[in-house]
Amino acid sequence: MLMIRNNSYWIYRFNRLLSSYLSKNGENLFSSSVTLNSTMKKLFDSKQYKEALNLFDQNFEICNDSTIDMAIKACTVSKDYSRGTRIQQRLSSKSLNNSYIQATLLRFYLEFKDIDNAMHLFSSITNKSNYIYTIMFKGLIANNMAEKVFDLLHEMKIEPNQFTFTVVFNACAAVANDRARKIGKKVLAEIPENYRNNTILLTSAINMLMKFGDVESAERIFRSIKTKNIITYGAMMKGYIGNEMFEKALDLFEQIDIQLDGVTYTIVFNACAKLCNNRAIKIGRTLLADMPEKNRNDNVIINSAIDMLMKCGDIKNAERIFRSVKAKCASTYGVLMKGYNLNGESWKCFKIFEEMNQKGIIPDEITWNILIGACSNSGMLHHCQYIMDRIPLNIQNNIQIQNSLIDMWGKCGSVEKAKNIFNLVVDRDTITYTAMINAFGLNGMGTRAVELYREMPNNLRNHFSHICVLNACSHAGLLHEARTIFNEISLKTELIVTTMVDCLSRLFMFNGAQMLIDDYEKINTPSIAMYMSLLSGARNNRNSNLSEKIYERMKSLFPNEKESLASGVVLLANIYSSLGEHEEAKNFRSSQIKELGVKVKVGLSWTEIKGQIVQLKAHDHSHPQSAEIYAKIDRLKSKAIENGFIFDSSWITRSLNENETIESVLCGHSELLVIALNLIQEPVPKFIQVVKNLRVCGHCHQFTKVIAKIEQCDIVVRDANRIHHFYPNGQCSCQDHF
């Protein structure tokens, strides 16, 4: 402590004396450049760049090339571009020909992204050394102009050294096109023998080859390195990850017998996050548990660990690690919120956002995008407006943010607000149009989706815009428009064909849908998504014979697609139930789900009550107001019956238990419970918003239309497929095309 105080004291005394001397009518303190350089170096080392530059200006007449070199470096570090250029203008031709000053000036211009002046200076240097070439190459790569390196390499009159070769490989890795592959492999083949044991050079070659996808050559070089360091292992593992060979990355990690560095922890956590199997989870958790304390407050490492845990579904441990970080940055909050979005707990993001506000941490553009994604997932308009009101205007004007906002408003049921953002976008891109088309489609405005698709410039249309407009047609029953657009699409991908199959299946045009599938399978492997669309249509048509054939075909073609097959089981079982064959439905569902070894997704619905997200499942009695909820359901049920509403038992998917009625089973569905919860609030809302994680059943759709008319309120229900706007006149925006 005494030493620190003494140090601070002497720095203080030094600055006081220096200021005092310099204020004496500008009297020249220094008799020689040696003394000046020594004083400037002390200021430079203590990061007092402005003071060093002031000293330089006041003593320019005695400065030598070392002083000038130091002054330009001070301008670079202190981000003072104008001062740096003024210094260059004052230099003599002798100083401008000094190789050290040339190198420092080159770095200066490249640091400020002034490529024109950097190139002009580079061209003016008569005798270019490898050192100059290496600086220029590195600067071009840093400024995303790596391809320019190849032009300069071609003009190079001297033999590159190991440093130049290393940077050339980095340039090839950054570009990774045909030209880069040709140059990179040629340079690698021609490297002098004395460089072939240089670990740094060979590590950059490994990185380059991995970026080319030439894993075999990278492995060959890796094996040839006699003394491997942790950076070499890291490059190899990172290359495996880049080539989606995650197991190989973990195999190599388990062979490492030297001390790990921070980068290695990040790479291994990333590999584990990509795999998320039992082996990866075990390796990731063990590595995290054994990680030294010094790495536990490194935000980059911790962020990758949180990301890994979230992707493996271990929310509890991810939260624990997050809480242990002493100095959290915006990216740490962002990775946690991203994990919540991934695991279906988006509402937690808003609490984390509040914590950021309390601690004065300003979200960056990435974090705002994650928060907008959380709003899209939660589906609640209140959250959307709350977040949007807090996004700074300069960020709101960013096209990526605007595109995300269009998507958010569309997915939360406010097409008008999505259109308002769309109208503000000056240079609309593919994502802008596609997000708006999708917003129209999700909200039952198929015709408007088609109109906007027709307005969209042809060169902006892509795979996703085709899918979104076809999906809009499918949900609105616009068969003619769908067929016209489908026939115009030259490259019919799996998802495009699937969407058209869905459109035909919803209209019970099964022969046409099957013909599309047959044509697709002539030159492609079968797609389970197409069969699921076909099966869903057959379920709506209550066609058990066709459904059985489709399901058996799915089992035959896709025996390992357990989750999709489980969804197929539920659909087929529901068909049996709709036909009154409850026992067969029960036995089929039980035996098939057991055979598949998967869990059926539980239906959940949520809404916002007094600023809090409330989530309920079917026949839920966990809410404190459960008695009032069910009493309200009973009153709605009675009023519906009085108005001639008939409860359709075909939507019941199991046998009734003792003391159950058709009405009690159907009215216990989760979406109806959360609607009732809204209706018992004071004051009674005139707008209700509900999100369900599964498709709304036919009964709930019909009953919600009746509820909206009885209560004279607007009800918006977003299910797994689309958004339904139920109006006080008893109609739905989907016009029963669901």
pLDDT tens, 516-569? Answer: 999 999 999 999 999 999 999 999 999 999 999 999 999 999 999 999 999 999
Burial class (CB in 10 A: 0-12, 13-18, 19+), 537: buried
Q: Is residue 613 classed as helix, strand or coil in its secondary structure?
A: strand
Amino acid in the structure at residue 533: S
Tokens of 707: 């509820």
* Percent of the chain topping pLDDT 90: 85
The answer, yes or no, to whether residue 137 has pLDDT greater than 90, is yes
Amino acid in the structure at residue 569: V
Residue with tokens 């994502």: 431
Residue 322 lies inside a defined structural domain of this protein: no
Residue 674 lies inside a defined structural domain of this protein: yes
The dihedral through the CA atoms of 279, 283, 285, 286 has a sign that is positive
Q: Is residue 623 classed as helix, strand or coil in its secondary structure?
A: coil
For the entire predicted model, the pTM comes to: 0.85
Identify which of 57, 113, 121 has the alpha carbon closest to the alpha carbon of residue 90: 57
The answer, yes or no, to whether residue 382 has pLDDT greater than 70, is yes
Q: Are 149 and 141 in contact (CB under 8 A)?
A: yes
Mean pLDDT confidence for 43-58: 91
Question: How far apart are alpha carbons 676 and 669 in whole angstroms?
Answer: 11
Residue 630 lies inside a defined structural domain of this protein: yes
Residue 688 lies inside a defined structural domain of this protein: yes
Question: How far apart are alpha carbons 581 and 54 in whole angstroms?
Answer: 91
Burial class (CB in 10 A: 0-12, 13-18, 19+), 569: buried
**pLDDT tier at 381 (50, 70, 90 boundaries)?**
very high
- HSE, side-chain direction, 13 A CA sphere, residue 467: 12
**Cα-to-chain-centroid distance, residue 371:** 11
Question: How far apart are alpha carbons 727 and 705 in whole angstroms?
Answer: 7
**Cα-to-chain-centroid distance, residue 219:** 31
Tokens of 117: 């002046």
Residue 609 lies inside a defined structural domain of this protein: yes
Please count the structural domains in the chain.
Answer: 1
SS (H, E, C) 208-276: HHHHHCCHHHHHHHHHHCCCCCHHHHHHHHHHHHHCCCHHHHHHHHCCCCCCCCHHHHHHHHHHHHHHC
Burial class (CB in 10 A: 0-12, 13-18, 19+), 36: buried
Residue 505 lies inside a defined structural domain of this protein: no
The b/e string for 373-382 (b: 16+ C-beta within 10 A; e otherwise) is bbbbbbbbbe
Mean pLDDT confidence for 247-276: 97
Question: Which residues, including other chains, have CB under 8 Å from residue 282's CB and lie 6 or more apart?
Answer: none
Neighbouring C-beta atoms of residue 213, cutoff 10 Å: 14
Residue with tokens 């100095």: 327
Confidence (pLDDT) at 30? 57
Residue 390 lies inside a defined structural domain of this protein: no
Residue 489 lies inside a defined structural domain of this protein: no
**pLDDT tier at 2 (50, 70, 90 boundaries)?**
very low
Helix or strand holding residue 511 (H, E)? helix 510-521
Give the structural domain span for 688: 604-726
| 85-95: pLDDT as tens digits | 999 999 999 99
**pLDDT tier at 31 (50, 70, 90 boundaries)?**
low
| 174-227: pLDDT as tens digits | 999 999 999 999 999 999 999 999 999 999 999 999 999 999 999 999 999 999
Q: Distance between terminal CA atoms of the chain?
A: 74
Tokens of 167: 């940077």
DSSP secondary structure letters along 546-598: HHHHHHHHHHHH-TT-HHHHHHHHHHHHHHHHHTT-HHHHHHHHHHHHHHHT-
Pick 579 or 269 by higher pLDDT.
269
Q: Are 726 and 705 in contact (CB under 8 A)?
A: yes
Confidence (pLDDT) at 311? 97
Confidence (pLDDT) at 9? 44
